Chains A and B, each alone.
Chain A
Amino acid sequence: MHDRFEILIAIHIVIGAFFVFVGSFGLVKLPSLMSRLHGPSKATTLGVGGCLIASMLHFGALEGRVSIQEMLITFFLFITAPVTAHFIAKAHLHAEVDPESELPPDEGRYGWSTFATMPEVRMASRESRSASGDRLES
């Protein structure tokens, strides 16, 4: 019984380590920043997930106390990982991507939010710009 659990735990650790490796390998191999962003999402889901399941099995089956902090790690990772990916993607859009030629069109009138400002903000900035322009001319 004891041995069986140890084998099960070892299998989960190996699965987790394999997906962390594939995620890191993707960082080296994939050609562009946006495609490299797909690598860490594997490491955070199945990679860490496999190790956490192994940890829960270890404490639950071998040491006889239920550990729920692993669930919390999963919970926090699932909340924070998409935010990080979104910020990196947004910075990449600002720095490298031309919205007119490279991005698909959206359904609405104002474009993608990284590039667009709301109409009233745009009007206000245009007014302030023309006001400062007037001052420069006079």
Chain B
Amino acid sequence: MADSELRPSYWRRWLPHPLLTAVLICLWMALLNSYSAGGLLVGIVLGMVIPIYTGHFWPERPEIRSPFKAIAFLAIVMFDVVVANIQVAYLILFRPRDQLRSRWVAVPLDLTSPEGITVLTATITLTPGTVASDLSADGRTLLVHCLDVDDEAATVRRIKHRYERRIGEILP
């Protein structure tokens, strides 16, 4: 046991991130936009080499709990992006600029992993009307700028309940 902790195993050394390898091969094949055996071979080589070279930046494997919930989460985010787009378009076109109640909101976080917080930040920024701007130094609070917010507590509750709870089921 002690031996395996000291020296990384064969698989661990040559295939440090199997998921990243799979994603890279899929990306490469999608970039080619057509199937050929040579293209697949180059994709496999890239998918093996890039994780080994970038492994120092990313020593630990992210722990993904349930990949299928990620698909449901993606669908919810897509739906929210469309709804929020229409709301913000209305705000921009018809609301006079001095009646916008834009302000900063602090969202306390339950997520602890960098990957989870990154996904939450990206989700908040991609949803129009909210931009995630800063993280507190201890990583427990997120600073979000809202374009037009009526009830601060309701916005925080919505972000926590709708997005953070679902991300917490996928990433720690």
**Interface set of A (CB-CB < 8 Å, partner B):** 18-19, 22, 25-26, 29-32, 34-35, 37-39, 41-42, 44-46, 67-69, 71-72, 78-79, 81-82, 85-86, 89-90, 93, 102-114, 116-118
Contacts and interface: CB of A to CB of B under 8 A. Distances in A.
A32 B102 contact: yes
Contacts, number: 136
Contacts of B135: 112-113
Contacts of B41: none
Contact of A112 (B31, B126, B137): B137
A71 B31 CA distance: 10
B17 interface: no
A22 B92 contact: yes
B140 A106 contact: yes
Interface residues of B, number: 40
B78 to A, nearest CB: 9
- For chain B, what secondary structure do more than half of its interface residues adopt (helix, strand, loop), or is it mixed? mixed
Contacts of B105: 104
Contacts of A22: 88-89, 92-93
A26 B85 contact: no
B125 interface: yes
Contacts of A109: 138
Nearest to B102: A35
B140 A93 contact: no
Contacts of A31: 97-98, 100
B66 interface: no
B31 A86 contact: no
A26 B33 CA distance: 36
Contact of A93 (B106, B127, B130, B133): B133
B45 interface: no
Given A37-B131, A39-B92, A113-B137, A46 B145 contact: no
B136 A113 contact: yes
30 contacts: A19-B89, A22-B92, A22-B93, A29-B92, A31-B97, A31-B98, A34-B102, A35-B100, A37-B131, A37-B145, A38-B131, A41-B125, A42-B85, A42-B88, A45-B126, A46-B81, A46-B85, A69-B31, A72-B31, A81-B125, A82-B126, A86-B132, A89-B145, A90-B134, A102-B104, A103-B143, A105-B106, A111-B136, A112-B134, A117-B137
